[in-house]
Structure 1
């Protein structure tokens, strides 16, 4: 083989190697830096307790993904479970554990925890109740504030509607399931309970910690304050999970991307910013 031919072959081999390496580098670079655009409609619904968190996460998600559209309807936990099962919601939310008969084909995702505060009007002098006292008030066995150290005044019991995850959780955790007093005032949504208690000196209600503000006061339960820290350390007795759920056979990529975002570091920061407790 002549020297000139050898030089040609070496040049060809070097050139081929460079092209191969360049191709590999280009491919690796593209794979690591290209982010697929997220688009489509994300239609969630269910628990009102999670709404502040989910709406805030949805706003941030669509800001990062302008081609995605996000809506969430606060219609109650039971409706969220039914909607996720039927596929009328791309994902549902519940503020309680799912019952065995509700699970079906649903995939559950715990994205936060919450404490449920027992709230009174700020003018009420009572600052602490035991779980047993709360149960007896809601069952109608304690009917006057004087029986628990307060003023001589009738107790106005405010509760949530059937299907409310907050109601189910409180009834289960406090111990008055299916024994709610007949003349209890029923309000739909945490916000309506909050405003009802705020407007009545003798009222008692319960709301997610995210709904406690200066218009109502959260009392201690079993001498433990209703705080995020006490839910985290499991000393506060009335707490529950926040769940998102979907049917894998019906869910779309945009919804899965949103739920991934909700569980991300950024999503969990939004959870805490809006009163939830990160997982």
Structure 2
């Protein structure tokens, strides 16, 4: 009997160990979420957190169809998406802001342009301005890089810069912020956008705020709201967070979790 019990425990132990909180979505947040998960599991050896990217839309779709516990999103859920959660589970999703971000505008390190207005960015990404000379740069064609339409950053930029209009057909869509940064770093006439934490090997152009001053997405400028492309980063759950999902989200919001936010290059909510 004792041997049978030991064998049973040995058989189910791997299954218990593999049970994990699943976190899926925003590519902007994936490095941050992975760092959170690593530290959380280090402090709680019996816990498991599985993090994958794919974009905010992918994470929200997974939340709706029940294949993730937490959806990471760099944009707010749409009313239609919330309605699908309610229709399927008879409960509304809960939104938890876990960090802040400034959507940075990347140009090649050799580009002489120092700042751009929202209007200039709108015209660039709509395809109405196609030469850097028209916005204070060299006489050279502007090469546009964008995120794919499942990206929350794509949606945020479309709503807040393009005012809901379509991107120029010439905009090259890339699967992740790291890919956008890499492309801009290699293309001297390139421009792209994405999370401030990814701006390595490229130049961040200042964005002009309502006061007429240009601002970078620094901690101070994002916290004060002076940087005009600031945004919260969210975790979504079906209903109020509970169980191990709540424990993980609580860790993300704890002083230790918010310290990781700063270390990664984003900005704390607390």
What residue number does 1:123 align with?
Answer: 110
How many Å apart are 1:40 and its aligned residue? 3.8
Structure 1 residue 44 corresponds to structure 2 residue 34: no
Deviation at 1:240, TM superposition (A): 1.1
1:244 aligns with 2:223: no
> What is the TM-score of this pair, normalised by structure 1?
0.83
Q: 4+ runs of 1 displaced by more than 6 Å?
A: none
Contact 2:104 2:195 in 1 (8 A): yes
Q: Count the aligned residue pairs.
A: 240
Partners of 1:257 and 1:85 in 2: how far apart? 21
Residue aligning to 1:10: none
Query: RMSD in angstroms over aligned alpha carbons?
Result: 1.6
Instruction: Indicate the residue corresponding to 2:223 in structure 1.
Output: 232
- How far does residue 178 in structure 1 lie from its aligned partner after superposition? 3.4
Distance 2:236 2:166 in 1: 29
TM superposition shift of 1:123 = 0.7
Residue matched to 1:278? 268
User: Residues 1-279 of structure 1: matches in 2 within 5 Å?
Assistant: 40-104=19-83, 105-213=92-200, 215-222=201-208, 223-248=214-239, 253-279=243-269
Instruction: Extract unaligned runs of 5+ from structure 1.
Output: 1-37
**2 CA distance for matches of 1:157 and 1:39?**
43
Secondary structure of 2:236 counterpart: strand
1:192 counterpart SS class: helix
Deviations 1:123-156 (A, max 9, x none): 1111111110000000010000111111111000
Structure showing greater radius of gyration is 1
| Consecutive unaligned residues in structure 2, runs of 5 or more | 1-16, 84-91, 209-213
Residues 154-200 of structure 1 show CA distances to partners (whole Å, capped at 9, x for unaligned) of 00011110111011111111134232111211101100000000010
Given that 1:139 and 1:176 are in contact with CA atoms closer than 8 Å, whether structure 2 keeps it comes out as no
State the 1:108 CA deviation. Answer: 0.9
CA distance in 1, matches of 2:42, 2:108: 39
Q: What is the rounded CA distance, in whole Å, between the counterparts of 2:158 and 2:40 in structure 1?
A: 35
Q: Check the 8 A contact 2:217/2:230 in 1, yes or no.
A: no
CA distance in 1, matches of 2:18, 2:67: 19
SS of equivalent to 1:219: strand
Which residue pairs with 1:34 in the alignment?
none
Contact 2:23 2:68 (C-alpha < 8 Å) held by counterparts: yes
